[in-house]
Amino acid sequence: MLFVNIILPVFLIILAGFCLEKRSKLDFRTLTNIGLYLFAPALVFSALVKRDINLGLAADLFWFMIIYTAILMLLALAAGRLFRLDSDTRSALSLSTVMMNVGNFGLPLAYFAFGDAGLEASVLVFVLFTIPLGTLGIIIAQGAGASLREAVMNAARIPLFHSVALAFAVKALGLPLPAFVLRPIELLGQAAIPLMLVMLGMQLARTSLHASPGFLSLAVLIRLGLAPVIAWGVAVWLEIPDEARKVVILQTSTPSAVLPLLYSLRFGSRPDLVAGAIFVTTLLSALSLTLVLYLLQ
């Protein structure tokens, strides 16, 4: 029943986006900009403003992000050296395994699994992973010629950063938001979750598989096999509260993120391998996430 009630609805919406893209060929860039600059920031802002932000939880999730990302990065680098992958393939492996889909996939999944009770934790995870991993993704994709300044400037332009800063400013100053301001922001935010899944389906419809079985097997093993175990261990070690621990484990056990594909296309770090990993891990996550949910129950 976990698969039917939680996982299947997510994949049905992804399938709707997949079929829509195959049939209609919509303007994906426009939809991306609407989601990135309007719906997602509205969701983050409204979720943070309406709740008393637990700074202790935010700190725990911040350290979780640092430790979890570092372990996965070291694991991907070690696997690349062990299997003697060339530099571009090692970059593709890191992009496919270190960066998980906490946004388009993870945020709706956590909402379906835990509802409003887990929304604060899932939004914090979404924000904490999106901004720094965006910077890391650019550095990985650029390889040896990576410019830290350019990566940081690109990350600072992410609208989520501005919505988080604005939400914290409103909370710190104790500014009451009138209903005519907060209600439209909440409605815009509610559109973010289905749009994220539809966009993921559209992106998968545009993905062509040209990856080697060996690379895909390694990416699946790390992203869907080892990553949830690492997430579980780090969350328990940091003693993250029970409800938030379930959210962060589930949300960081998601398949490879879509954003790294854009970086790999821009910098030429084997986008064919990254696209293949995104497609395969997304499909196989129906099984792995069902198991993770069962264990979390």
**Domain segments of the chain as ranges:** 2-296
Question: How far, in whole angstroms, is CA 268 from its chain's centroid?
Answer: 22
- Per-residue pLDDT, averaged over 99-115, amounts to 89
Query: What pLDDT score does 256 carry?
Result: 92
For residue 94 the two structure tokens come to 């890191």
**Separation of alpha carbons 249 and 213, rounded Å:** 27
In angstroms, how far is CA 144 from the centroid of its own chain?
25
Report the alpha-carbon angle 43-47-52, nearest 5: 165
How does pLDDT run across 240-274, given as a tens digit for each residue?
999 999 999 999 999 998 777 766 766 666 777 88
Q: What are the tens digits of pLDDT across the range 199-238?
A: 888 888 887 766 688 899 999 999 999 999 999 999 999 9
pLDDT at 104: 81
Q: Write the pLDDT tens digit of every residue in 29-66.
A: 788 778 878 888 898 898 888 877 788 888 999 999 99
Res. 118: pLDDT tops 70: yes
Collapsed DSSP state (helix, strand, coil) of residue 162: helix
Instruction: Report the alpha-carbon distance of residue 202 to residue 19 in Å, rounded.
Output: 8
- Say if residue 141's pLDDT is above 80: no
Per the DSSP assignment, residues forming a β-bridge with 100 are 256
CA distance 255 to 228: 11
**Cα 163 to Cα 154: distance, rounded to the nearest angstrom:** 16
**Three-class HEC string of 87-110:** HHHHHHHHHHHCCECHHHHHHHHH
Nearest to 227 by CA among 7, 74, 80: 74
CATH no. for 2-296: 1.20.1530.20
The model carries a pTM of 0.87
d(CA 144, CA 122): 34
How many beta carbons lie within 10 A of that of residue 178, not counting itself?
7
The CA–CA distances, whole Å, from 226 to 71, 88, 232, 288 equal 11, 22, 10, 11
Split at pLDDT 50, 70, 90, the class of 193 is: confident
Model confidence at 28: pLDDT above 80: no
pLDDT, tens digit, 9 for 90 and up, residues 146-190 = 566 666 666 666 677 788 889 888 888 888 888 898 999 999 988
